[in-house]
Amino acid sequence: MSEPRDAYTIHDLRNWAAATADLDLPARLAVIGDPVAHSLSPQLHNPALEATGAGCQYVRLHLQAEEIAEALGLLEGAGFLGVNVTIPHKETVFSSISDVTDVARRIGAVNTVVVENGELIGHNTDAPGLQRAIREQFSVDLTDMRVLILGAGGGAGKAAAVQCAMDHCDRLVLANRTEEKAQALRGELVDLMTDPDRLEGPSSRLTAIPWEPKALEREMDQIDLVIQCTSLGMKRTDPEVLPQSLIQPHHLVYDMVYSPPRTRLMAAAEAEGARAANGLSMLLWQGVLAFEFWFNREAPVEAMRQGLEAATGAS
Ligand code: NAP
């Protein structure tokens, strides 16, 4: 019996029983991505599978975009309970599945697939995972928060914005390097931010701004929570996301980046007396929610947290 390989391919999936015959437990869950070898999802889910005695394991599947449709069609026959989806396939999987949840439809991206009675159901647990992470890190709910999303043009930024709007946040300010994408997202969220019980219309509660210091400065007094949704901060040479002088002690700063564990933005926030957290908690909670969709039972959160902490060296 042996350990699973770093990543399996479409060729393996076509003959899954033979490709995984040497494993001590059947591989019935996977993360699909390109690249995927860096994904921490096995370290998050395998401790949960072990803790619950699920009798199966979680592996990585390295797939190209043109292999996605075939791969989805092979899952049930290969005995899969479901898969997670990571960059760059979340939108492709969304377009390939007809049965998706409202949240996934709003975001246009699927990060969790459940195989159920021969059907595939597409979920997005990034958005509610962020909601849980904010609650855990800052003891606040998105409801009633005034939120600035940095990177509102990418998939993660869209998931964050949709969740904030669905949770009826008080104010939502969208900023993105390519401003047109933030404007487009604003248009998609107007209905969610229109509250017939409020006197003011959606325009005062929902706005898209250019990502530049002057425009950001005008907003920061009326912001409680900043959510950083770009990949900036992963490399030491990355530019500053937000000028430090704009951060105020009352701000809560959530950086979706978790490697390094203390990002430059977090350090800047803490230097200004603000509270800050990295994106590891979002990774944890999107996984917890995925596990609960696959098994229809409560996930062993602490086992998953310990798995992630061991994998990242966090504690
Ligand atoms: P994506 O769809 O490729 O979007 C990238 C976003 O970053 C876009 O808004 C893009 O702006 C912006 N961006 C990229 N380089 C930039 C730069 N130099 N200056 C300013 N903006 C820049 O990626 P994604 O899926 O949204 O992921 C974004 C980040 O979130 C990644 O680091 C990912 O690992 C992280 N993430 C974390 C979690 C978690 O669980 N913690 C979950 C999902 C994602 P333009 O539109 O102008 O290109």
Give the model's pLDDT for residue 233.
Answer: 87
Using DSSP, state whether 247 is helix, strand or coil: coil
Q: Measure CA of the first residue to CA of the last residue in the chain; give whole Å.
A: 32
Give the model's pLDDT for residue 202.
Answer: 63
Q: How far apart are CA 165 and CA 193, in angstroms?
A: 6
Q: Residue 55 C-alpha to ligand 1 middle, in angstroms?
A: 36
Give the model's pLDDT for residue 311.
Answer: 93
Kindly report, residue by residue over 169-183, the tens digit of the pLDDT. Answer: 999 999 999 999 999
Give the model's pLDDT for residue 30.
Answer: 98
Mean pLDDT computed over 72-84: 98
Write down how long the chain is. Answer: 315
Give the model's pLDDT for residue 203.
Answer: 64
Q: Which residues contact 195 (CB under 8 A, 6 or more apart)?
A: 168, 205
Q: How far apart are CA 76 and CA 116, in angstroms?
A: 9
Integer angstrom CA distances of residue 9 from 1, 33, 204: 20, 10, 49
Give the model's pLDDT for residue 197.
Answer: 74
Give me the residues paired with residue 207 across strands: 173
Residues with CB under 6 A from ligand 1: 87, 126, 151, 153-157, 176-178, 181, 229-232, 256-258, 279, 282-283, 286
Give the model's pLDDT for residue 12.
Answer: 98
Mean pLDDT computed over 79-91: 97
Give the model's pLDDT for residue 133.
Answer: 98
Residue 314 confidence class, pLDDT cut points 50, 70, 90:
confident
φ and ψ of 258, to 5 deg: -130, 5
State the chain's mean pLDDT as an integer: 95
Residue 158 annotated to the active site = no
Kindly report, residue by residue over 32-57, the tens digit of the pLDDT. Answer: 999 999 999 999 999 999 999 999 99
Q: How far apart are CA 234 and CA 249, in angstroms?
A: 24
- Of the residues 124, 229, 282, which should be mutated to test ligand 1's pocket, given the most ligand atoms within 8 Å of the CB? 229
In this structure, what DSSP letter does residue 147 have?
E
Residue 97 confidence class, pLDDT cut points 50, 70, 90:
very high
- 124 token code pair: 């997005």
Give the model's pLDDT for residue 313.
Answer: 84
Mean pLDDT computed over 102-107: 96
Q: Of 146, 168, 161, 138, which is closest to residue 224 (Cα–Cα)?
A: 146
In this structure, what DSSP letter does residue 172 have?
E
Q: How far apart are CA 133 and CA 266, in angstroms?
A: 16
Residues of the chain with pLDDT > 90, as a percent, come to 90
| The one-letter amino acid at 143 | T
Pairs from 90-97 (Cβ < 8 Å, separation ≥ 24) = 90/124, 90/155, 91/155, 92/65, 92/68, 93/32, 93/68, 93/122, 94/122, 96/68, 96/69, 96/72, 97/72, 97/121, 97/122
- Of the residues 158, 227, 231, which should be mutated to test ligand 1's pocket, given the most ligand atoms within 8 Å of the CB? 231
Residue 201 confidence class, pLDDT cut points 50, 70, 90:
low
